[in-house]
Amino acid sequence: MDTMRAIGMSEIGGPEVLQLIDAPRPVRANAEVMVRVLAAGVNPIDAKTRSGRGVSGAIRHYPAILGYDFCGEVVESPYQAHPLQPGRRVYGMTMVPRFDGSYAEYAAVPEAFLAPAPTTLSAVEAAAVPLAALTAWGMVVEVAKAHDGQRMLIHAGAGGVGHFAVQLAAYFGARVIATASQRNVGWLHELGASRVIDYGAERFEDVIDEVDVVIDLIGNVHDDTGSRSLRVLRPGGLLVNAPTGSWTTMEEEAAAAGVRATGFRVAPSGSTLGVISRLIDAGDLRVNVERTYPLAEAAEAHRVLERGHVRGKLVLTVAE
């Protein structure tokens, strides 16, 4: 077959620009693995790119295929003795728009972007892991270096990245304080948060101070959350911000407050996903999928994502 079903983004715009199309099936080259996609995660970066932000400036042709993370089955390996042989279930993330995304029946993916999927998860659950878990790992473990005794504030703790960040920080010994809506308070305690602040009932800067690290998954998109977070850090403390495009003065504000701040951008890593798989299969890391949609309903998934308050992740089901 030379074509496949995919969700094509016809132009920059609202969710309605996402349409089911017949797209050319990718051709595997070099050390790439051809994967038949079973399910694809839906992430905020997808909606930002679709609307003209995110990585939209790097799109060179339309219709563009969005989607970073996925779970699927290997259909072609780079060579006969490669460890990822046809039939093996794998998960990973690709890099849109340098590669076509995972809102499609097939994806050609560099082997370094892949790992065997956790054996305890369904394909839908596994597809919800890669981008969010790799982002949380990078921010919490690699940059913030979570450890015993550390006090870490995690904003948007119930979101896709947030619910992994809470678990990883607690696993490595940090005392986790998370912000969330009232409905997620009990759930985040179950995931390992020592304290959960209901942002609808109290302002975090009024009830905590002297934290070592802030994992900022909001920035100044709403109510100057990023700027307010600088006030609760101890002198010399660290704020790690996932890019939102909303807080251009972050470094200057941090320096004036006597603290450190850095952005973070996730990169695919099959080796790190291998570690994450072991944590999942050991029961030390959980993933929450709030809702699934058939591939053809990607536009509706984007509408729900943009309304906010998703607990964990949304996932597109691509194949049986």
Whichever domain contains 72, its CATH number is: 3.90.180.10
CATH number of the structural domain spanning residue 174: 3.40.50.720
pLDDT of residue 59: 96
- The answer to whether position 280 is within a domain reads no
pLDDT of residue 246: 79
C-alpha distances in Å from residue 111, one per residue of 24, 75, 179, 259? 21, 13, 37, 39
The number of distinct structural domains making up the chain is: 2
Cβ atoms < 10 Å from Cβ of 246:
15
Phi, psi of 192 (to 5 degrees): 125, 0
Mean pLDDT of the chain: 96
What pTM was estimated for this model as a whole?
Answer: 0.96
pLDDT of residue 293: 98
Judged by average pLDDT, the poorest of 186-195, 217-226, 272-281 is 217-226
Cβ atoms < 10 Å from Cβ of 255:
12
pLDDT of residue 61: 93
For residue 13, pLDDT over 90 is answered with yes
For residue 33, pLDDT over 80 is answered with yes
For residue 1, pLDDT over 90 is answered with no
- The CA-CA-CA angle for residues 50, 102, 85, to 5°, reads 165
Does 297 share its domain with 254? Answer: no
Does 294 share its domain with 171? Answer: no
pLDDT of residue 282: 98
- The answer to whether position 276 is within a domain reads no
Give the residue from 105, 142, 108, 110 showing the smallest Cα distance to 6: 105
Give the residue from 266, 267, 224, 214 showing the smallest Cα distance to 249: 224
Alpha carbons 29 and 34: distance in angstroms, whole number? 9
For residue 320, pLDDT over 80 is answered with no
